[in-house]
C-alpha cells in the first residue's frame, strides 16, 4: 500500500455531494453542530505528510486517506463509540461525512478494520523508532485551537492522574500459574511435545481448580509443584518457543519473584523482599503495567501528566500531556515538561502552578525562564530567614547573609547541596537577624549551613501569604476537574488496549477529543455572541 495525500484526490466538491440535497432547515442544524467546527478548523490542521513513513515507497494500491483516519480517531473518542459504531455513523450520518470531508465520496473510505489496522501501524512505528506520529498531530491541532481561543501560554497548571491497566489483580499463585499455562498453550501451538501430565495447564477449567477450588492443598505446596513443572517444561522448549512472549514472561516472573538455592530448588521470595520493586510483573495480559500505592489506594497500570492553559475568559485547553508507567514521579514529569518548552525571553516569564510533589530542577527552570509555584509544600518547613541569603548563580557559594555581611569562608557539600559559611562573630552577634538566623557559635566565627534549595523553598513559603499566591492556588484547583472528566466521560480506565504505547494512543485521542469539545463550545459561543451583536 503506497501513500497518496488526500488533498490531491479530493480537490473539489462533486455534483453528487450529499450536502447539496439538504433542506434549508437541515443545513442550519448541520452548521450549528460540532461537525462544522471540526470540518473547518480541526480537519485542515491534520498534516498527512509525516504519515508517509507508514506506507510502502513502491507504487501500489493507494492508502486510505490519512487525514480521514486521524480525524476518525478523534471523532470516535469525541462521541464515545466503538470502531463498529463509528463506521455505522460514518455510513449513515451526514455530520460525520461533513466533518471528514467525505460527502463527495462515492463510497465512504473506511472498513470495519481500518481504524484497528491504522492504530497498529502507529504503535509498531513508535516501538521501532520512538516517534509518536499522532501525538505530534495532536500538538499541532491544539496549537491551532489555542491560537483561535487566545490561550495564554505564560500561565500553566499541572496535575497527574492514575490510569488503570484494566487487568485483573492476581495473587502470586495465580500469576505463576498463568505464566506456566500460557507457555503450555504456546508449546501446543508450536506443535512441541508436551508430556500428558502437564496438558492440564491448557484446560480452560484447570485454573479455577488449582487456584480457587482445591482447598485441601496449601498455597505453598501448589506453588512448589508449579515451580517444579515450570522447570521441566522450560527444559523442553526449543529456540523458537524461547523467543515467544509466553516463555519470556515466565522467565521474567522467575527472575523477579523467586530465588534459586545451591541445591537447585527454586522458591518464591518473601513478600517484603526489597528486590521486588514496583516494576515487577503484575499480569501477563499487560506486562508493562506497574504497581503503585498512592493516597491509600493500590494502583496497577499507568500515570498521565496533564498541562492546562486558559484564556482571560476562563476557557481552557490541555496543551501538553505525557503518559508513562505509574512508578514515574511528578518530579520527572515537570522536568520533562520544561524540557519540551521553549526558552522564554528575560521579560516574558512562564509560570507553572502545581502541587508540592512537583519539585523541579531549579537550574533547568532558570535556563528556560520558568517559575514554578507549588501551592502546597510537602515535608518540614524551612526557616523564613533562609529566603534572604544571597547565593552565587550555581548555588555553591553564599555571597551575603540577610544582614548584608559577606562570609569569611564558604565550603560546598556536593552530596547534600548545602553551603557552610563562616561569618565574623562580632558582626553576627550585633546583627538584628541574629535570633532568627540562629548561627552556630564558635570561638572566633559563627557558622551557618544553608542551601539554595532551602532559600527557594523559604521564598515559596513567604509567597503563600500574598494575594497573588491565593489567586494562583484558585487557578491551580481548576486542573483537578480533568481526571474526573476523563474518567466519567472518556472512560480512560477502560481503554481497550494493552501495553503503554497502545494505551497512550487512545489516551492522547481522548485528551484531544476533550479539547475539541471545548473548542466547539467556544466557537459556537463566539458565533452566538457575534449574532447578538449584529442584532443589537
User: What is the tens place of the pLDDT at every residue in 355-382?
Assistant: 888 888 888 998 999 998 888 776 778 8
The residue range of the domain holding 30 is: 6-131
pLDDT beyond 70 at 532 = no
For 229, which DSSP code? H
Please report the pLDDT score of residue 404 as a whole number: 92
Residue 509 counted as domain residue: no
* Residues in a beta bridge with 325: 302
Q: How many domains does the chain have?
A: 4
pLDDT mean over 118-143: 96
10 Å Cβ neighbour count for 415? Answer: 5
Q: How confident is the model at residue 393 (pLDDT cuts 50, 70, 90)?
A: confident
97 & 42 share domain = yes
What's the pLDDT at 229? 94
Contact 318, 482 (CB under 8 A): yes
With cut-offs at 50, 70 and 90, classify the pLDDT of residue 9.
Answer: very low
Q: Which three cell numbers stand for residue 439?
A: 548561627
So what's the pLDDT on residue 284? 95
For the chain, the farthest-separated pair of C-alpha atoms sits apart, in whole angstroms, at: 97
What are 309's strand-pairing partners? 156, 317
Among 73, 163, 68, 167, residue whose Cα is nearest residue 116: 73
Residues 76, 214 share a domain? no
CA distances to 136, 182, 482, 486 from 510, in Å: 15, 33, 12, 8
- Residue 228 cell numbers, joined: 517444579
Residue 536: its pLDDT value, please?
46
Task: Identify which of 474, 90, 502 has the alpha carbon closest to the alpha carbon of residue 289.
Answer: 502
Q: What percent of the chain has pLDDT over 90?
A: 71
- Looking at 107, 131, 155, which one is the last position of a domain? 131
Q: What is the pLDDT of residue 463?
A: 80
- Residue 211 DSSP code: I
Same structural domain for residues 92 and 124? yes
For the chain, the average pLDDT equals 91
Q: Are residues 11 and 80 in the same domain?
A: yes
Q: Whole-angstrom Cα distance, residue 125 to residue 136?
A: 14
Same domain, 239 and 314: no
The answer to whether residues 433 and 344 belong to one domain is: no
Q: Taking the CB of residue 128, how many other CB atoms lie within 10 A of it? A: 8
428 located within any domain: yes
Q: What is the pLDDT of residues 157-186, one digit of tens each?
A: 999 999 999 999 999 999 999 999 999 999
d(CA 531, CA 522) in angstroms, rounded, equals 14
Give the integer Cα–Cα distance in Å for 361 and 13. 54
Split at pLDDT 50, 70, 90, the class of 533 is low
164 phi and psi, to 5 degrees? -70, 140
452, 484, 501 — which closes off a domain? 452
In a domain? residue 191: yes
Question: What whole-number distance in Å separates Cα of residue 77 and Cα of residue 88?
Answer: 15
Segment 313-325 shows an average pLDDT of: 95
pLDDT value for 19: 85
Residue 237 is classified by DSSP as: -
Same domain membership, residue 470 and residue 353: yes
Residue 531 pLDDT class (50, 70, 90 cuts): low
Query: Both 422 and 484 in a single domain?
Result: no
Q: Is residue 54 exposed (0-12), middle (13-18) or buried (19+ Cβ within 10 Å)?
A: middle
Are the CB atoms for 326 and 500 separated by under 8 Å?
no
**Rounded-to-integer distance, Cα 358 and Cα 141, Å:** 27
pTM for this model (two decimals): 0.86
Q: Quickly tell me which residue has 548584608 as its cell.
A: 404
pLDDT at 466: 83
Domain assignment present for 153: no
The alpha-carbon radius of gyration of the chain (Å, integer) is 30
Q: What pLDDT, on a 0 to 100 scale, did the predictor assign at position 342?
A: 86
Asked, for residue 94, whether it belongs to a domain, the answer is yes
Average pLDDT value for residue range 520-536: 69
Q: What's the pLDDT score for residue 528?
A: 61
126 domain-assigned: yes
pLDDT, one tens digit per residue, over 183-235 is 999 999 999 989 999 999 999 999 898 888 877 788 889 999 999 999 999 99
Same domain, 468 and 364: yes
Please report which residue ranges of 391-536 form alpha helices under DSSP H: 425-429, 434-437, 452-463, 467-477, 481-488, 500-535
Residue 40 lies in a domain: yes
Of 80, 101, 131, the last residue of a domain is: 131
- Let me know whether 85 and 226 are in one domain: no
**In terms of pLDDT, which residue wins out, 463 or 257?**
257
For 16-48, give the DSSP string: T-GGGG--HHHHHHHHHSHHHHIIIIIGGG---
**Phi, psi (deg, nearest 5) at residue 202:** -90, -5
Contact 425, 394 (CB under 8 A): no
pLDDT at 65 over 80: yes
3-state DSSP assignment of residue 351: strand
- 531 inside domain: no
Q: For strands 350-354 and 370-374, give the pairing.
A: parallel
At 70, the pLDDT band (50, 70, 90 cuts) reads very high
Residue-level pLDDT at 293: 87
pLDDT-derived band at 511 (thresholds 50, 70, 90) equals: very high
Does residue 391 share a domain with residue 309? no
- At which residue does the C-alpha cell 496438558 appear? 199
In a shared domain, residues 475 and 326: yes
Amino acid at each position: 500500500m503506497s501513500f497518496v495525500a488526500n488533498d490531491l484526490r479530493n480537490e473539489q466538491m462533486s455534483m453528487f455531494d450529499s450536502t447539496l440535497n439538504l433542506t434549508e432547515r437541515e443545513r442550519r442544524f448541520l452548521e450549528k453542530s460540532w461537525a462544522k467546527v471540526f470540518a473547518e478548523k480541526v480537519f485542515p490542521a491534520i498534516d498527512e505528510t509525516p504519515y508517509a513513513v507508514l506506507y510502502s515507497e513502491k507504487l501500489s494500491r493507494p492508502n486510505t486517506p490519512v487525514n480521514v483516519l486521524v480525524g476518525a480517531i478523534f471523532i470516535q473518542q469525541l462521541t464515545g463509540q466503538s470502531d463498529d459504531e463509528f463506521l455505522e455513523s460514518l455510513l449513515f450520518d451526514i455530520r460525520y461525512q461533513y466533518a471528514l470531508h467525505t460527502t463527495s465520496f462515492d463510497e465512504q473510505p473506511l472498513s470495519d478494520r481500518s481504524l484497528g489496522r491504522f492504530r497498529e501501524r502507529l504503535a509498531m512505528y513508535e516501538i521501532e523508532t520512538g516517534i509518536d506520529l499522532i501525538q505530534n498531530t495532536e500538538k499541532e491541532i491544539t496549537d491551532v485551537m489555542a491560537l483561535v481561543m487566545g490561550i495564554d501560554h505564560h500561565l500553566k497548571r499541572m496535575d497527574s492522574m492514575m490510569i488503570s491497566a484494566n487487568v485483573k489483580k492476581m495473587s502470586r499463585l495465580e500469576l505463576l500459574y498463568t505464566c506456566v499455562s500460557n507457555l503450555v498453550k504456546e508449546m501446543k501451538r508450536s506443535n512441541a511435545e508436551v508430556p500428558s501430565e502437564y496438558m492440564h495447564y491448557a484446560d480452560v477449567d484447570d485454573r479455577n481448580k488449582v487456584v480457587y477450588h482445591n482447598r485441601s492443598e496449601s498455597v505453598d505446596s501448589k506453588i512448589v509443584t508449579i515451580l517444579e513443572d515450570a522447570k521441566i517444561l522450560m527444559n523442553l522448549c526449543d529456540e523458537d518457543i524461547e523467543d515467544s512472549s509466553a516463555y519470556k514472561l515466565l522467565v521474567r516472573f522467575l527472575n523477579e519473584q523467586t530465588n534459586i538455592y545451591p541445591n537447585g530448588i527454586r522458591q518464591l521470595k518473601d513478600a517484603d523482599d526489597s528486590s521486588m520493586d514496583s516494576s515487577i510483573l503484575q499480569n501477563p495480559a499487560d506486562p508493562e503495567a506497574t504497581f503503585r500505592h498512592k493516597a491509600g489506594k493500590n494502583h496497577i497500570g499507568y500515570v498521565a501528566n496533564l498541562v492546562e492553559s486558559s484564556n482571560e475568559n476562563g476557557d481552557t485547553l490541555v496543551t501538553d500531556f505525557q503518559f508513562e508507567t505509574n512508578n514515574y514521579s511528578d518530579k520527572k514529569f515537570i522536568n520533562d515538561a520544561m524540557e519540551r518548552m521553549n526558552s522564554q525571553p528575560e521579560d516574558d516569564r512562564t509560570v507553572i502552578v502545581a502541587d508540592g510533589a512537583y519539585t523541579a530542577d531549579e537550574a533547568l527552570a532558570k535556563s528556560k525562564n520558568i517559575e514554578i509555584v507549588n501551592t502546597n509544600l510537602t515535608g518540614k518547613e524551612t526557616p523564613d530567614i533562609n529566603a534572604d541569603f544571597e547565593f552565587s548563580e550555581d548555588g555553591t557559594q553564599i555571597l551575603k547573609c540577610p544582614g548584608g555581611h559577606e562570609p569569611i569562608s564558604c565550603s560546598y557539600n556536593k552530596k547534600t547541596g548545602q553551603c557552610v559559611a563562616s561569618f565574623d562573630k562580632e558582626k553576627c552577634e550585633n546583627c538584628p537577624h541574629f535570633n532568627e538566623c540562629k548561627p552556630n557559635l564558635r570561638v572566633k566565627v559563627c557558622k551557618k549551613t544553608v542551601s539554595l534549595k532551602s532559600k527557594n523553598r523559604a521564598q515559596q513559603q513567604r509567597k503563600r501569604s500574598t494575594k497573588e499566591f491565593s489567586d494562583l492556588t484558585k487557578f491551580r484547583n481548576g486542573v483537578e476537574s480533568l481526571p474526573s472528566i476523563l474518567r466519567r466521560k472518556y472512560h480512560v480506565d477502560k481503554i481497550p488496549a494493552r501495553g503503554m504505547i497502545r494505551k497512550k494512543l487512545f489516551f492522547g485521542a481522548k485528551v484531544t477529543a476533550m479539547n475539541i469539545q471545548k473548542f466547539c463550545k467556544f466557537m459556537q459561543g463566539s458565533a452566538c455572541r457575534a449574532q447578538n451583536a449584529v442584532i443589537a
